[in-house]
Amino acid sequence: MKTTLTLLSALFLTSLLPLSAAELKLASVLADHMVLQRDKPVAVWGWADADAEVTVEFAAQKKTSKANAHGKWLVKLDPMPASDQPRDLLISSNHQSQIISHKCTDVLVGEVWLGSGQSNMAMTVAGCYHFDAEKAAAKFPLIRHYRESSGPAELPQAEGKGAWQTCTPDTVGGFSAALYFFGREIHKEVGVPVGLINTSVGGTPIESWVAAEVQSSDPETKANYDTRLGAHRKFDPAQAPALHQKPNPNRPRAFGGKGAEGMKKEITSNNGETLDETINRPSHHPKAEGKTPFRPLNPHQPTPTADSWAGGLEKENPFSAITRPLRRSSGANRRY
């Protein structure tokens, strides 16, 4: 089941916070080469002078709104059919007889999908099997990719950061692999422009994706939130380097260029066994009979193929089937 989102407006839940500078500005995802969701109302939003009149024009539509006291404004365009015709999105504001305008060029209308999560979604096409062949074949001008690239922050930020790119052999290497291969199939099957919005951040815990207000108020998450918040407040950046430089008996020691055999003798498990002893000792865990406690790198192991690698993951990793779903940026479910 696909979780649906209202077009683009769910990208940055706090993107309508006030800015310090008074000017005409759009949310970062509203930019050149973007794709707007077909058949649904399209949200266009940003900031301007307080009480300024803002006009949005696109595809024979002209909508007007008024910025509030904090300069925030929002306009919704009527639903539109898919279109591969590049058009301009025009935005202008009129305040105290001063007119400011902005234009987004090469705008298409089609399917818009949001891909989020950790490193599985962040992994790029450049790191995929047969990249050279995929790169050469990546000639899809109607597929567009947006990479949200804001840095970490403790508090919600007023603006996101990123840019849209058209799919070409020169750009596809930086696309999210999961999003690209998914979006390419949608494009081939449905035949309309496809916008892919990548908001993934590798290595992030689930707590970083949930609002602090929710975590601190929900009985099931409050204890964990309080513990993490306490540890965060005690963190001292000045002491961090020294702490990380201390030897850790549970971590492998330096190998000193001793080669594979030297590495195997140097590495010890937590119970003091060498790597060879650990490998050769059968496990007595009732659920892991005949398996080693961990899987070391075997320099003599054949290079896995794509099929054997995927199959091995499915068999050995119970979490491999748990992935953060792709989310469709619209308000209705659809099956393909």
Amino acid symbol at 231: A
At 182 the pLDDT is 97
Global model pTM greater than 0.75:
no
Contact 160, 29 (CB under 8 A): yes
**Calpha distance 150→140 (Å, rounded):** 27
- pLDDT tens, 197-213? 999 998 888 888 888 89
Query: Which pLDDT score is estimated for 204?
Result: 86
From CA 334, how far away is CA 336, in angstroms rounded? 7
Letter for the amino acid at 65? Answer: S
The residue type at 171: T
Report, at the CATH architecture level, how domain 3-198 is classified: Sandwich (2.60)
219: Cβ–Cβ under 8 A, 6 or more apart, which residues? none
Question: Would you list the domain boundaries of the chain?
Answer: 3-198
User: Coil, helix or strand for 196?
Assistant: strand
Show the low-confidence residues of the chain (pLDDT under 70): 1-22, 244-336
How is residue 94 written in tokens? Answer: 């009129």
Count other C-beta atoms under 10 Å from residue 94's C-beta. Answer: 17
pLDDT in the model for residue 307: 43
Rounded distance between C-alpha atoms, residue 200 and residue 92, angstroms: 32
Q: Give, in order, the Cα–Cα distances in Å from 264 to each of 47, 127, 135, 277, 296.
A: 60, 29, 39, 10, 10
Q: What is the token pair recorded at 70?
A: 């904090």
